[in-house]
Amino acid sequence: MPELKRIFCRYEEASGQKINTDKSSVFFSPNTSQNAKEEILDILGPMQDSKHTKYLGLPSFIGRSKTQVFSILKERIGWKLAGWKGKLLSMGGKEVLIKAVAQVIPVYTMSCFQLPQSLCDDLESMMRSFWWGQKQNEAKMSWVSWKRMCISKVYGGMGFRNLRAFNQAMLPKQAWRILSNPTSLVARDLRSKYFPTSDVLSAKLGCSPSYSWRSIHSNLEVIKMDIIGE
């Protein structure tokens, strides 16, 4: 901890900017004892114990109930769809709103975490109901399956995203960035913990892995199959 304090001081000297401890907070693991927390806060200054559940829009802690953790996505999309239902929209307008807004909201989260299948199904169900003109709690008949509507327009579909497939396509991109840019901060951080003597493609899941690493690791086969195919 004194070393961290020294780094802060060096940053202040180099940048000319002073860290405002009154507006700063420390994020502790749930396993950190109260005595350790107090000792750390005494060293760093009058900082507060952070209670934030999110960082950069993503959950800080992911417990056993993944659906509950990512429920904010369902709420945000639900708010958007509820606001549009009262407006007279053409089918073309609905298509644009679904593709440009509703299906874009979860993209950032999908690039970092694997969403539960049940949540993907719920999100697609909400979009499907909006497309066919749901009014309040009354859903109209879906004349075409959502699976078919996710097919490209060239083949008779609407080109909507299959959220599960899209999620599985986003996560291997993270692994590819680690493989192609091994000196990046995230690559060095993950390598030090999960694959210190190998590369990301040969990495094991490890003991008590984070959910972000578990999400990336579970989709490594996509990259391996592509490399073998070449």
Residue 114 predicted with pLDDT over 80? yes
More confident residue, 222 or 128: 128
Residue 140 predicted with pLDDT over 70? no
Q: Which residues does 222 contact at the CB level (< 8 Å), separation at least 6?
A: 168, 169, 172
Tokens of 18: 């002073």
**Mean pLDDT across 85-103:** 84
Q: Which pTM value belongs to this model? A: 0.71
Strands 25-26 and 48-49: parallel
pLDDT, one tens digit per residue, over 16-72 is 888 787 777 777 777 888 888 888 878 777 776 665 566 666 776 676 777 777 888
Q: Tell me what pLDDT residue 52 has.
A: 56
**Mean pLDDT across 72-100:** 84
Query: How far is the C-alpha of 206 from the C-alpha of 203, rounded, in Å?
Result: 8
Confidence of residue 200 (pLDDT cuts 50, 70, 90): confident
Tokens of 215: 């999400």
- Looking at the chain, the whole-number percentage of residues with pLDDT higher than 90 is 11
Q: Tell me what pLDDT residue 55 has.
A: 62
What is residue 63's three-state secondary structure?
coil
Window from 85-94, 173-182, 199-208 with minimum mean pLDDT: 85-94
Confidence of residue 162 (pLDDT cuts 50, 70, 90): very high
Residue 136 predicted with pLDDT over 60? no
Window from 42-46, 127-131, 192-196 with minimum mean pLDDT: 42-46
Other residues' Cβ atoms within 10 Å of the Cβ of residue 1: 11
Residue 229 predicted with pLDDT over 60? no
